[in-house]
Amino acid sequence: MIQTIDLRGRRLSPAELLSIVPRSHTDISVATDAATALIDDVRARGEQAILDQAERFDGVRPDHVRVRASEIADAVAQLEPAVRDALEEAIDRVRAGSAAQVPAPSVTMLGDGAEVVQRWSPVARVGLYVPGGKAVYPSSVVMNVVPAQVAGVRSVALASPPQRAFGGAIHPTILGAAGLLGIDEIYAMGGAGAIGAFAYGVPGLLDPVQVITGPGNVYVAAAKRLVRGQAGIDSEAGPTEILVIADGTADARLVASDLISQAEHDELAAGVLVTDSADLADRVQIELGRLVPLTHHRERVQISLTGVQSAVVLVDDLAAAADFSNAYGPEHLEIQTADPKAMLSSILNAGAIFLGDHSPVSLGDYLAGSNHVLPTGGQARFSSGLGAYTFLRPQQVVSYDRAALQRVREQVVALSGAEDLPAHGDAVTARFTHN
């Protein structure tokens, strides 16, 4: 079912590994022109453009873009009890996990009367995007909103595409999740136009934001790239991916189940197994052949796992498995080996790491307490997932008294002269002379 890449007997450099990692042929740049046009349309025509784009892309024209408070309250009241209970538990767990991401202020004393305070200041306003498409994502509401709230963001706006099945309204489960979190500024808008609306604002409808987060399709990713600089973004999220490092002790049925769990997201989702056990590789292939026809989204899963982005990778040992994983930089990394924790010191690049048989990625998608908005497409090699820190800016607060400044006065003057910026030194000297 799934292709095999055999690297046994080969010692490859990081660059060589990077060149052979399986990837989908998703190129955000191909959507740039279309995303630019949609953003420009929103900037020029405002709310009318948003409504026209909804009719064009979502197949429905909402009665109103901003969701009314009564609609949010109704959605909360109509949540199924089991779903509401699960959402409330997820909120509590993600809130606890996010709280650990807020650094405490610190003070560095550089001498008497000379201090630098490190503080973390939240942005004032954020725009959070929750996609529509093939599934409903109330969990993404939790994962976006809770870290912003924990960081201390005061103004939170949320957008999600209008749904034809609900007469142009946002999916009620998404509304209900937002209502549970106290979000009352919600917009029925989607795609690149929504990202443009967040970045530049829409007169009479919404004010611009400072940071935009949340996953979406290739047009959303392209739009986020385009507005970066006007507003901060979390990442350019692409199709989901899972990489499993496993040895001969792993349960093939569980490995196959975890690959399938992520493949059901999208036909472009990636499932990769890296193992030093040819026997395990064979057993996983057998389990996939047995389980894929039984799963609900079997056609989608089949396309995903037989695509160029998915593979079973055979390596000589677990050290080589770690090297391959680090070159890949997976969004989700599972380690199912005899001693998973022992491998952590070898792992450098991953959005989130799941250790052992009982820590599947599905747990992280909902209730682990970690965040499921993670870097994809190899971006974990240089960026991190969404967290409270996404909405925080480190600021250094400098406080020197006269004596402390006097002690470094000559050094400041010397350096300003060396850089041919004498007014810098003069600004210090002026504090000790009188005209």
Query: What residues are designated binding site for substrate?
Result: 240, 262, 265, 332, 365, 419, 424
Please state the residue numbers annotated as binding site.
240, 262, 265, 332, 365, 419, 424
What is the spatial distance between Cα 313 and Cα 256, in angstroms, rounded to a whole number?
A: 14
What is the spatial distance between Cα 358 and Cα 377, in angstroms, rounded to a whole number?
A: 26
Instruction: Assess whether 331 carries a catalytic annotation.
Output: yes
Asked if residue 259 lies in contact with residue 250, where contact means CB atoms within 8 angstroms, the answer is: no
Helical residues (DSSP H) of 152-204, grouped into ranges: 172-180, 191-200
Please state the residue numbers annotated as binding site for Zn(2+).
262, 265, 365, 424
Orientation angle between helical segments 298-305 and 252-263, nearest 10 degrees:
100
Q: Which of 243, 308, 318, 317 is nearest to 273 (CA)?
A: 243
Instruction: Assess whether 71 carries a catalytic annotation.
Output: no
What is the spatial distance between Cα 172 and Cα 157, in angstroms, rounded to a whole number?
A: 17
Asked if residue 214 lies in contact with residue 182, where contact means CB atoms within 8 angstroms, the answer is: no
Q: Which of 236, 331, 334, 372 is catalytic?
A: 331
DSSP category for residue 376: -
Tokens read off for 224: 């986020």
Tokens read off for 260: 């399938």
Q: Which of 275, 265, 255, 362 is nearest to 304 (CA)?
A: 265
**Please, is 64 exposed, middle or buried when counting C-beta atoms within 10 Å of its C-beta (0-12, 13-18, 19+)?**
middle
Taking CB atoms within 8 Å and a gap of at least 24, the contacts of 44-48 are 46/202, 46/203, 46/204, 46/205, 47/202, 47/204, 47/205
Q: Which amino acid would we find at residue 396?
A: Q
Q: Which of 241, 332, 334, 372 is catalytic?
A: 332
Q: Which residue has 């503080």 as its token pair?
A: 119
Q: Which residues are catalytic?
A: 331-332
